[in-house]
Amino acid sequence: MARTQVAIIGAGPSGLLLSQLLHLNGIDSVVLERQSREYVAGRIRAGVLEHGTVELLLEARLGERMLRERLVHDGVALGFSGRSLRIDLHALTGRSVSVYGQTEVTKDLIDARIAAGAKLVYEASDVAIEGFDTSHPKVRYRHEGRTHELDCDFIAGCDGYHGVCRQTVPPGAMRNFERIYPFGWLGILADVPPVSHELIYSNHARGFALCSMRSPTRSRYYVQCGLDEKVEAWPDERFWDELKLRLPEEVAASMVTGPSIEKSIAPLRSFVVEPLRFGQLFLVGDAAHIVPPTGAKGLNLAAADVRVLYRGLVDFYRTGSARALERYSEICLRRIWKAVRFSWWFTSIMHKFSDDPFAHRLQLAELDYLSGSTAALTSLAENYVGLPFEAAS
């Protein structure tokens, strides 16, 4: 039977980053991924990296291409009542954010792991975890028509919201917190220059819109849509027309449109499981929490979990002390709930929840208040660029 120190389920950003950081600290891991390498590398998802996530990627020695190709953003704009309010993140917090797509982060991670000879098993099916409440956990899976068993000290459940790890925990051992929002985001990717060099979040009576980007030549745009809507009902022309209607006039006027190269609808949800540790099993990233993408926190929260877990594991293998690992749940959950709160709040003030004009007036009053209050702007900015990390000991 094969053996490793840490069995990592899922080769998304959490699993790959964890295995890279463990490797740099002399800790062995095996990563089991249900999908193919091409599928994982091609998924279009997050794009905004907090300062702390950039630092963690540098710590993982992944920074070279990111530092060269990322777009550093010192500000972000909010559109409402036909105008645009720029929030100077850097002036308010001393920090910036970086635009560097999750697709690129994943590519860098896969390249680094393969270059280091990592044990990375793609298309592993029927992954099952056992004995995580004992000191001898085990993972079974099928690969290339054979059943494999893997002994380990710890299991890291980095397998996303639909993964097997959280589902294996007895329901009585955990508590789920969930909020489903009554709308989704219809997003397109297009090879056209971004309408602005910084992100624009727009509150409009027709619904929310976001202008984002992946590079100086590739734009990512979103409009709020109904949960029951289908991508097929949104030909490119309809998307561009709707997007422009939801933006301040001068922004819409300078929009360059073009054929979409990807189009998808994502539902919005807030979800947290407590605790994050069950014996030798640790839940990491989307396996443990989901936030609506409004605050750009999903990938950043996943990286923050990895930071706490890998440091705890390094401490354990170097000194024999499990103290940092024992605090994993508590430390991560404090950050997670703050990000859940921020993402929920930002979603609440930017989206259309109903036709109630009273509710829309309240949103506009809150946005107007923001524009006149350095204290309120600073609160938004410090959450957006990422709150400071808490020490584990």
Q: Which of 78, 75, 69 is nearest to 95 (CA)?
A: 75
Per the rule left: phi > 0, alpha: psi between -120 and 50, beta: everything else, 296 is left
Q: Write the binding mask 316 to 345 for ligand FAD: x where contact by CB under 6 A, - elsewhere.
A: ------------------------------
CA distance 49 to 59: 15
CB of 216 to ligand FAD, least distance (A): 19
- Residue 285 binding ligand FAD, by CB under 6 A: yes
- Residue 231 binding ligand FAD, by CB under 6 A: no
Produce one character per residue of 314-331: b if its CB has 16 or more CB atoms within 10 Å, e if not: bbbbeeeeeebbebbbeb
- Contact residue for ligand FAD among 40, 186, 213, 340 (CB under 6 A): 40
- Contact residue for ligand FAD among 281, 299, 325, 349 (CB under 6 A): 299
CA distance 19 to 363: 43
CB of 362 to ligand FAD, least distance (A): 26
Q: Of 7 and 349, which has the nearer Cβ to ligand FAD?
A: 7
- Residue 184 binding ligand FAD, by CB under 6 A: no
CA distance 297 to 52: 12
Site for ligand FAD in 126-145 (CB under 6 A): 127
CB of 321 to ligand FAD, least distance (A): 26
- Contact residue for ligand FAD among 6, 7, 8, 11 (CB under 6 A): 11
**Distance from first CA to last CA of the chain, Å, rounded?**
36
- Contact residue for ligand FAD among 163, 184, 292, 386 (CB under 6 A): 163
The phi, psi pair for 255, rounded to 5°, reads -70, 130
Q: Is 107 a residue of the active site?
A: no
Q: Write the binding mask 62 to 101 for ligand FAD: x where contact by CB under 6 A, - elsewhere.
A: ----------------------------------------
Q: Is 73 a residue of the active site?
A: yes
- Residue 293 binding ligand FAD, by CB under 6 A: yes
- Contact residue for ligand FAD among 4, 6, 7, 10 (CB under 6 A): 10
CB 69 within 8 A of CB 101: no
CB of 290 to ligand FAD, least distance (A): 7
- Residue 194 binding ligand FAD, by CB under 6 A: no
- Residue 160 binding ligand FAD, by CB under 6 A: yes
CB 200 within 8 A of CB 250: no
Q: Is 292 a residue of the active site?
A: no
Q: What angle do CA 110, 113, 118 make, to 5 degrees?
A: 125
Q: Give the burial class of 251: count Cβ atoms within 10 A of its Cβ; 0-12 exposed, 13-18 middle, 19 or more buried.
A: buried
CB of 253 to ligand FAD, least distance (A): 26
Largest CA distance in the chain: 64
DSSP string, 126-156: EEEEE-TTSSS-EEEEEETTEEEEEE-SEEE
Length in residues, the chain: 393
| Residues designated catalytic | 73, 201, 293, 297, 384
Q: Which residues bind ligand FAD (CB under 6 A)?
A: 9-15, 32-35, 40, 45-47, 102, 124, 127, 158-160, 162-164, 266, 285-286, 293, 296-299, 302
